[in-house]
Amino acid sequence: MSNQISLQFPDVTVQNHRGETRKFRTDYVTGRRVLIGFIYCQCDGICPTTTKHMARIHQVLRERKLDFQFVSITVTPHQDTVRDLHDYAEIYEQHRWKNWDFVRCSPEDLKPLRYALGAYDPNPAIDGDYRQHSGLLTFGNDRTNRWSALPAGMNADELAFTVLRITRDAAKLKDYLQS
């Protein structure tokens, strides 16, 4: 058995906010550095903060010319359409970036995907209520097999620093510390 963490991520079919069909692990994770968060379009809780913090991290990484894939996964695929995801991405001005996709999968594929990424609550009652979904950002570097997760509500710049540190881009980390 391989110790490659990403092989535990299901390669489920997803549809992004552009209407394109992708495979989660193959197209977003394999051989890449990736940051993954969970949202839903009608959320007035943690989702806006999650998306804003992901946007800040995206800016930091883009300024440093780092190649990262960002994925925001809806926890309500039964209600969030491709159009809803596009409109949500547009609100946060992230729809124009080719390396950030807002995606939906089938409701049946969502639970195994969330569990593989550590975005679940051990209490089944809480876990079953999408309004109480995890505000967790999962990130890693598939090439180095380094993965971690942090609460999305943390300070965005601290999150960006940790993403750089964990994904082991030492030269860019030094630049970040000096800025």
- pLDDT tens digits along 89-128: 998 776 677 899 999 999 999 999 999 998 888 888 887 8
> What are residue 160's phi and psi, to 5 degrees?
-60, -45
Pairing of strands 69-74, 100-105: parallel
pTM: 0.90
Domains identified in the chain and CATH numbers: 12-178 (3.40.30.10)
In the structure, how many helices (H) and strands (E) does the chain have? 6, 7
Pairing of strands 146-151, 136-141: antiparallel
Mean pLDDT, range 40-63, rounded to an integer: 89
CB 104 within 8 A of CB 74: yes
pLDDT grade for 66, boundaries at 50, 70 and 90 = confident
Place of tokens 């630049």: 175
Q: Which two tokens stand for residue 153?
A: 């509500």
* Whether the predicted pLDDT of 142 surpasses 60: yes
CB 54 within 8 A of CB 70: yes
- Where do the H-state alpha helices sit in the chain? 46-63, 82-91, 107-116, 124-127, 156-166, 170-178
Mean pLDDT, range 9-27, rounded to an integer: 97
